[in-house]
Amino acid sequence: MVLWNIDLTLLDVARVTRAAYADAFGKVTGRPLVKLPPMAGRTESEIFFEALALNASPAAGLAGEELLGRFAGQLAEAFRARRGLLTEQGRLLPGAREAVAEVSRLPGVVQTVLTGGIKPTAVEKLRAFGIDRYFDTGIGGYGSEVYPKGAMLLRARSRAAEKYGVEFGESATVYIADSTRDMEAARFGGARSVAVASGRSSEAELRDAGADAVLPGLSDLAALLQVIDRLAPVARP
């Protein structure tokens, strides 16, 4: 089982994300989003509630779960409204398309995503760049479901086992991501971790966070496949 983080691992749509967040935040709280918290490796709930604190926004008399639910709905709508901007203002990172296409062809591999974002926005991003067909998004882990990210990984493994009738143990599960928090999630969720230094974490920081392998990016496809093959021997032809 190979899981991929999306933002700054496969693609960069930061401009659209910031605009969509500001739109959704304003509609839910009635206040402008002046400060956006750090997002790398974090779930939607973490980001939203920290944004409330940073922007001194009232909870509008709603319980936290209800408020988060309203925000998630508005965020999904804001992304749909900006669908055309994803490719205009964003980009696939070098080697990303080739990497997910080739990994999907490895014998016996189930490929999905593990992202802090909610499922509707994750699917919009993948679909905009034409790479959604390489993933079984139905078994993925999303920020709209459970918290923290390591628990999302455990949930994704459970769904995959139920669907495919195979237990995906630690030696058969690989998580590819770009942040130190993602490396921590891999350890918690029982997965081997491949770090790509395409985000805001350096190669040294990713190694210190416990990554099982570190790559500068996804451009060297042979290196990526070798690392996956070494960490998850079940993927060998």
As a whole number of angstroms, the distance between CA 150 and CA 19 comes to 28
The DSSP bridge pattern shows strands 11-12 and 2-4 to be unpaired
Looking at residue 6, its pLDDT comes to 97
pLDDT greater than 50 at residue 237: no
What is the average pLDDT value for the chain, to the nearest integer? 90
**15-19, 43-47, 134-138: which is most confident:** 134-138
Task: Give 158-199 pLDDT, tens digit per residue.
Answer: 999 999 999 999 999 999 999 999 999 999 999 999 999 999
Task: Give 72-101 pLDDT, tens digit per residue.
Answer: 899 999 999 999 999 999 999 999 999 999
Burial of 13 (0-12, 13-18, 19+ CB in 10 A): buried
Residue 169, both tokens? 């143990």
Note the pTM of the prediction, 2 decimals.
0.90
pLDDT greater than 70 at residue 59: no
Taking residues 34-39, report their average pLDDT: 78
Place 44 in a pLDDT band, splitting at 50, 70 and 90: confident
Q: What are phi and psi of 174, to 5 degrees?
A: -125, 130
Helix axes 221-231, 96-104, angle to 10 degrees: 40
CB contact at 8 A, 182 and 56? no
CB contact at 8 A, 175 and 168? no
Residue 14, both tokens? 């930061």
Helical (H) or strand (E) element with 232: none
Looking at residue 41, its pLDDT comes to 67
192 pairs with which residues across the strands? 174
As a whole number of angstroms, the distance between CA 190 and CA 173 comes to 8
Radius of gyration of the chain (CA): 17
- The domain 2-13+91-235: what is its CATH number? 3.40.50.1000
Q: Which of 42-56, 88-102, 192-206 has the lowest mean pLDDT?
A: 42-56
